Amino acid sequence: MRAAAVILPLAVSMLVGCAHNPPPSATPAPKPPPPCLSQLDDLPFATCLLTELDQVWTRELRDTGRTYTAPRLTVGDGARGDRTRDGGPDRAFYSPRSGIHLPTRYLMAVHTAYGPRAQMNLTFTMSHEIGHHIQSLLHPGTDVRVNDREAQADCYSGVWAHQEAADGKLNSEQFRAAATAELNRLSTYPDEVATHGDPAQRLASLDKGLHSGDPAACDVGPLTWR
């Protein structure tokens, strides 16, 4: 559906172009794509959101003369061998080799907790995971404390939300409320607080990015933006 919405105005404008005398008002304005949050199924939602995450980070890296490459995305089970220390099939995780994973058990837990409003909570999750992708692009293989790595991913999540809100595509207050709820829920997993920090610490990291919109504000040790 989304591809059709993009292709159709292009086809119309090409036809108008062939007529050689189009009045300027004859070219229809391209329809904006539907907001990702209106996608209720996980795969189209996550695919849509990844595009918006990619757009912001492409721009941010380009502004500093670097090139962004998009991560792969797995929605539902797959690639269990990529399980990492800080995640697993019951939680979302990122692997430098295979990208962002939203395992089935994680998605079920999120939908059980939040019902039809789960997309905003998943928005926080994906923006955190892509923070790990940015780390992987900028500092591949750099060894830092897991808590520092997680704090920076939370901060990058806030940076993205700041930019997305500035583009008119996100309500940052709703995003922050959904992130807070998800941080509280995740803190009930026994290993989560030890590796990621408690909800108050994580929210402080997220706010650093959300308020500044500046990835450099997220620098931790050797994981620097510039």
Contact residues: Zn ion, CB under 5 A: 150, 153
Strand partners, 99: 95
Q: How far is the CB of 178 from Zn ion (least distance, A)?
A: 17
Q: Which is nearer to Zn ion, 150 or 182 (CB)?
A: 150
Do the beta carbons of residue 126 and residue 93 sit within 8 Å? no
Q: Which is nearer to Zn ion, 128 or 176 (CB)?
A: 128
CA distances from 88 to 52, 58, 120 (A): 25, 28, 21
- d(CA 162, CA 170) in angstroms, rounded, equals 9
Q: b or e along 101-127 (b: 16 or more beta carbons within 10 Å of the residue's beta carbon)?
A: bbbeebbebbbeebeeebbbbbbbbbb
3-state secondary structure of 164: helix
Q: How far is the CB of 167 from Zn ion (least distance, A)?
A: 24
Q: Which is nearer to Zn ion, 153 or 170 (CB)?
A: 153
Q: How far is the CB of 53 from Zn ion (least distance, A)?
A: 15
Q: How far is the CB of 150 from Zn ion (least distance, A)?
A: 5
Do the beta carbons of residue 98 and residue 129 sit within 8 Å? no
Q: Which is nearer to Zn ion, 87 or 170 (CB)?
A: 87
Q: How far is the CB of 206 from Zn ion (least distance, A)?
A: 12
Q: Which is nearer to Zn ion, 50 or 153 (CB)?
A: 153
